[in-house]
Amino acid sequence: MMTDTKTAEIVYPQELEQASNAYLMTVVTIIAGLPLPIINVIAAVFFYLAQRKASYFVRWHSIQSILSQALMIPFNSFAFAWTLKIILGNRLHIFEQDGPHHYTTSSALASEFFYSASLYYWSYIAFIIFLNIIEFIAVVSTAAQVRKGKNVRWFLIANLTDAITSKKNRDKYRI
């Protein structure tokens, strides 16, 4: 049992595990969410909805997890859309017209993808991969620290989480 110094409430070991799971939920859904960035946020929201009657500590970390995932959506979505534009841009030229009524099929190979992608695209993709690796490491580290009883507050996100999370005790099992 530990006392959270910010809220002066007692945090029980099962609550530490629940709060830690808010971050681990996003790690597990990364496999499904890699191509579609919104999947991780949806999984985090469902986890929060399942925990909305939990203690302030669990709800606070669930919301911080949602916000950390939501912060990545614009970056990942732009990379995803840019990649689709390059892929579909190549696919739209599969059928080429040789004559007035004669079409031939050109091969849309991977080499065309690499040829049509610019240096700006590859620089942005490298940046996004680096950003996602940093975020992945931060999420795993935060989950481990929260499970040990440390209240981890992410820069800027924690202040927004404080403003969003209700301090009202919703735990129906607490005496």
- CA 101, CA 174: separation in Å to the nearest integer? 77
- CA 70, CA 17: separation in Å to the nearest integer? 22
* Residue 134 domain-assigned (yes or no): yes
Residue type, 10: I
CA angle 72, 78, 83 (to 5 degrees): 125
Report the pLDDT averaged over residues 69-92.
Answer: 83
pLDDT recorded at residue 90: 58
* Residue 119 domain-assigned (yes or no): yes
Confidence of residue 8 (pLDDT cuts 50, 70, 90): low
Q: What is the pTM of this model?
A: 0.72
pLDDT recorded at residue 17: 84
Task: Please write the tens of the pLDDT for every residue from 101-160.
Answer: 555 444 445 566 666 778 899 999 999 999 988 988 998 899 999 999 888 898 889 999
Task: Please write the tens of the pLDDT for every residue from 19-63.
Answer: 888 887 777 666 666 666 688 888 889 989 988 888 888 889 999
- CA 109, CA 36: separation in Å to the nearest integer? 23
Q: Report the number of distinct structural domains present in the chain.
A: 1
Tokens 């499904």 label which residue? 32
- CA 101, CA 88: separation in Å to the nearest integer? 24
Domain range spanning residue 112?
A: 2-164
